[in-house]
Amino acid sequence: MKLCIALKKQHGPCRIHMDGASYHKNISNKNPTMNSNRAEMHRWLTERGASFSVKETKSDLMLWITLPKEKPKYKDQLIASLHGHFLLNMPPYHPELQPIELIWAMVKGRIARDPPKNGNDAVEKVLDQLGEITRHNWIDVYRHVQGHDKYVCTTSPRRR
């Protein structure tokens, strides 16, 4: 949330690119599953105004749950849109769509031309090469990623 506030203050509404890692998909309105206990199922159904018998089995309760099943609401999307940002979720396992991965590949490629002699040398070379990354490099990789927008899965409503 602090990042969204800082981005809006410094840059206005932004396009935020997130990788497709499953741990970024934190759902705020999870639907119960068969692994949920009956109390959770009862609470979920009651919150949605469903009428059911407290004596029903979990299988019967699941039938009630699947009817009003809601589209998932992702916490990161809710936070970003609250601050006027546009969130783009990349497909998983596509590092070519991640600017940071392209920068990291650039750093690794430069280090590979002159391999480190030991661990301390490796750390020094990584830090040196990260320091060599320019604003122009970042702009280039960002433009590269923008060229692949057709592969992006949006969780934001379409802009008009």
Residue 156, pLDDT above cutoff 70: no
Q: Which residue has the tokens 């490099």?
A: 137
pTM above 0.85, yes or no: no
pLDDT in tens, 48-70: 888 888 888 999 898 888 876 77
Rounded to the nearest 10°, the torsion over CA 101, 102, 106, 109 is 70
Residue 160 banded pLDDT, cuts 50, 70, 90: very low
Q: Is 88 left (phi over 0), alpha (psi -120 to 50) or beta?
A: beta
**Cα 59 from Cα 34, distance rounded (Å):** 7
**Cα 137 from Cα 146, distance rounded (Å):** 14
Distances from the Cα of 25 to the Cα of 19, 86, 89, 95, angstroms: 10, 16, 9, 18
Better-predicted residue by pLDDT, 117 or 154? 117
According to the model, what pLDDT value does residue 124 have? 97
